[in-house]
Structure 1
């Protein structure tokens, strides 16, 4: 009788152990570690150094907004020691980890080891975005080993290959620009919440007739106000896929007074999301406080 009772107890214990192990295995399968559930936020790297438009002051404000209200990680890299320093942007190795690179550059002459990080990023096929003077981001002298970088704008954004190339010019520092949404592009996600027309402080850049490329999608058209020469209307924002098959957004806007406008802020935030493959924000978090003065070229 005692033997029978022992067998019953052992059998009961084994059954309980099996049930417990089974439940533990089930729990482990259905409830992975919290770290496994966390997806790393996309990293947006801003690269600034433009002499004139205070990009190193406006871009950090945009970066902070993206981090605070839109769930992105951001990093801002600047020319050192100031915006007029053309030969050093520390930290470009951050592009190795970037999910999106945003450039606001003008006439840099970076060393080969820094250019290499930009080259690797452009070859990666990851999305790229640029503002205004990034059409002529580099200005190496004729015959310099890095002279080909002067055409960075064409390679990265589908803009003219440097200042003065293909007729790339503007209509005078005393002019401004009336901007309108191009009707055929009105439903593009990047234009969500952007006014159908607005006035921009940026003097209009001429990129036509050869740019942007024919396979680009122009979003905004600019008309020069008070031009200093005969003016034609030009696209001021477009999307494209460059030769690395990367999604591109570029705008020739970029005067600090442009960034004060809520419509331009929405254009920028929307473009960041679109380039990252994320839906544009359903709810706009509100106007960003950007009150950066226009500096002009001061050396």
Structure 2
């Protein structure tokens, strides 16, 4: 097995000494974030940021090997997490915990609200249950059975240049969430839930709304402040095909800037679509 901890430099861009440093942590093959996060890192480099991608060449889910290279978070101004069912070693998780408790900002994608699953006899077991709520703002519930139509709930500078009128389709299913009451929800989505999920009492209770046909409505993108005073963005938008839409890429890039109290890119700034493939899971070479 080979660890990949990439510092991506965009040729022709001279980074300023005080350039913001964003660290992307990829901890799942699900939704192929290996490619989407690398694509985002490259675009942030093009915008003058320093970008580090921490990844592995193996499936890190439920893997006691965990993820090496997390010490890069010590120098991060912003952490971007795309995680799912990780079982990190205590000394590895300590880098994430220290970052969170520093009060620095966090952007979490999709599966990160169920980013960890520790054994019951692990000292970190509580984090498996609590990470979603404490870090992203919501625990994980089931998801819908089709694509999601996204619409605006609250106008915000993060939406600058993002075309959603009156709604925009996202390839991914709608995650059932329970956004914090003090969160600012920017976007919500509508999608279909089959009968099995319709009968799930927790799903019905957690959804904002569900009609008799099984069409549910819930939040997909919000800002928040966590218990450590850190600014937070959670986005359940993050399917591989989502990144082929430059509007969603702009949404994420704008969010990174907002989290660091920097002006979002102007509408004239070129933000490119990212080819993150169409496969639901990264395929690793054996």
Classify the TM-score, shorter chain. Answer: 0.7 to 0.9
Q: Secondary structure at 1:170's aligned position in 2?
A: coil
C-alpha distance in 1 between matches for 2:264 and 2:59:
34
Structure 1's unaligned 5+ residue stretches are: 1-37
CA distance in structure 2 between the aligned counterparts of 1:122 and 1:272, rounded to whole angstroms: 16
Question: Could you say which residue in structure 2 is the equivalent of 1:47?
Answer: 25
Structure 2 gaps, min length 5: 1-15, 199-213
Q: Distance in 2 between matches of 1:39 and 1:298?
A: 37
Residue 72 of structure 1 and its aligned partner are, at CA, apart by 0.3
**Aligned partners of 2:61 and 2:84 also within 8 Å:** no
Corresponding residue for residue 122 of structure 1: 100
- Equivalent of 2:44, from 66, 71, 81? 66
Higher relative contact order (CA 8 A, sep 6+): 2
Q: Which residue of 2 aligns with 1:199?
A: 169
State how far apart, in whole Å, the 2-side matches of 1:135 and 1:297 are: 20
In the superposition, the TM-score normalised over structure 2's length comes to: 0.81
For residues 1-299 of structure 1, what are the structure 2 equivalents within 5 Å? Answer: 39-68=17-46, 70-82=47-59, 84=61, 86-87=63-64, 88-150=66-128, 151-160=130-139, 163=140, 168-172=141-145, 175-182=146-153, 185-186=154-155, 188-196=156-164, 197-207=167-177, 211-225=178-192, 227-228=194-195, 229=198, 230-282=214-266, 283-296=268-281
Aligned partners of 1:286, 1:216: CA distance in 2, in Å? 27
**Structure whose residues are more often helix by fraction:** 1
Q: Deviations over 1:136-194 (max 9, x none)?
A: 0001133432111112111112111xx4xxxx11123xx11110111xx22x1111111
TM-score relative to the length of structure 1: 0.78
Tell me the secondary structure at the aligned position of residue 77 of structure 1: strand
> CA distance change for structure 1 residues 204 and 52 in 2, over 3 Å: closer, same or farther?
same
How many residues in Structure 1 have an aligned counterpart in Structure 2?
247
Match of 2:13 in 1: none
1:236 is displaced (CA, Å) by 0.3
Query: How much has 1:44 moved relative to structure 2?
Result: 0.1
Write the deviation string for residues 87-121 of structure 1: whole angstroms up to 9, x where unpaired. 32111000000000000000000000000000000
For residues 267 and 214 of structure 1, the distance between their equivalents in structure 2, rounded to whole angstroms, comes to: 22
Please tell me whether the aligned partners of residues 243 and 274 of structure 2 are also in contact (alpha carbons under 8 angstroms): no
Report the RMSD for the aligned CA atoms in angstroms. 1.9
What secondary structure does 2:229 align onto? coil
Whether the 8 Å contact between 1:178 and 1:225 is mirrored in structure 2 is no
Whole-angstrom distance in 2 between the partners of 1:225 and 1:199: 13
Do the aligned residues in 2 keep the contact of 1:65 with 1:288 (CA within 8 Å)?
no
